[in-house]
Structure 1
Amino acid sequence: MTKWPFRILADWVSREATSSRTISGVTISELNDENTALAYDAMRALRPHLTFEDAFVSAVRIQRKEGYRLVASFDPAGRVAAVAGFRHMTNLYAGSHLYIDDLSTLPSARKQGHASALLSWVDEEARRLGCAGVHLDSGTPRHDAHRLYLSSGYVIPALHFSKTF
């Protein structure tokens, strides 16, 4: 697969205008199997272990079978600046909700409103689906992300524990 220094989607966004929305001056569009690769560079900012674009696209394809969805925020030139991956879940503690697995912005695009716009888009989607809310986990050293979540109305109701085998 060809590696481009920037992922450009301006033509696709204009063709698929019904699936695109502008929030706070930022264009947000949901990506599908055909254009998932556009999100690779932005996702690598959060997930540097994703060293191969093809493997990333394959992993997203598998996750989509489990309900994973991917939305992207575009800069004025049509380049993907940030991405959010999420899924609809229902469990006993939160009921029906959207869970954000991944929220990542290119370092050069940070503090420009892309992540805030993506969070707003996910909030709107949760309301549209009749969800009770939106949940996410965030790594403990990601203080800028924590400030964003708190300023966007998120609270810290619990700690997340994990065990790796």
Structure 2
Amino acid sequence: MVLEILPPHTHLAFRAMQALRGHLTDAETFSRHVDEVQRPEGYRLLGAFDDDRGDGVDAVAVLGFRFTTSLAWGRFCYVDDLSTLPEERGKGHATALLERVHEIAADEGAGMVHLDSGVQPERAAAHGLYFSQRYRIASYHFSRTV
């Protein structure tokens, strides 16, 4: 089951997000940052939950996204984060999250969904998922510390 995770339930995304963002150390700090910094900038969270989910049960996978507009692409959806608990990988949770964000993007009038993914060997399974969902490598992403 895929649901949007809204305050005050942001902490339900912590464990799955920590699997991707290992620098995150506690659910309270994570929730406060998402709710007070990122959400006001348009960030939203989807969570995949086991079908027999009870209230207060952590998401097994999460997807963080936002909408923006650029001269190059017009209005588009950007996926900031997509993460699944290691023991839940390969069960279709990430696919369900991507399918749901595609629906939301279409409903919101976005022409495209974009995401970046690291090139480390351990990201190969994620890349396979993106290709299976008809994503393509469209550009290089450059960054510089200042």
Instruction: Sort the TM-score into its range (normalised by shorter chain).
Output: over 0.9
State the partner residue of 1:44: 18
TM superposition outliers: structure 1 runs of 4+ over 3 Å: none
The aligned amino acid for 1:149 is: Y
Query: What CA deviation, in whole Å up to 9, does each residue of 1:54-81 have, x standing for no partner?
Result: 1101111110000000010012332411
Q: Distance in 1 between matches of 2:111 and 2:96?
A: 20
Flag structure 1 segments of 5+ consecutive residues without an equivalent. Answer: 1-26
Number of equivalent positions: 139
Query: What CA deviation, in whole Å up to 9, does each residue of 1:105-157 have, x standing for no partner?
Result: 00010000000000000000010011101000001111111100011010101
Q: Distance in 2 between matches of 1:76 and 1:45?
A: 21
State the partner residue of 1:139: 118
Within-5 A mapping of 1:14-163: 27-61=1-35, 62-78=37-53, 79=57, 80-141=59-120, 142-163=123-144
Flag structure 2 segments of 5+ consecutive residues without an equivalent. Answer: none
TM-score (norm 2): 0.92
The aligned amino acid for 1:66 is: E
Percent identity of paired positions between Structure 1 and Structure 2:
49
The aligned amino acid for 1:144 is: A
Compute the RMSD of aligned alpha carbons. Answer: 0.9
Q: Which is further off, 77-86 or 124-133?
A: 77-86
The aligned amino acid for 2:9 is: N
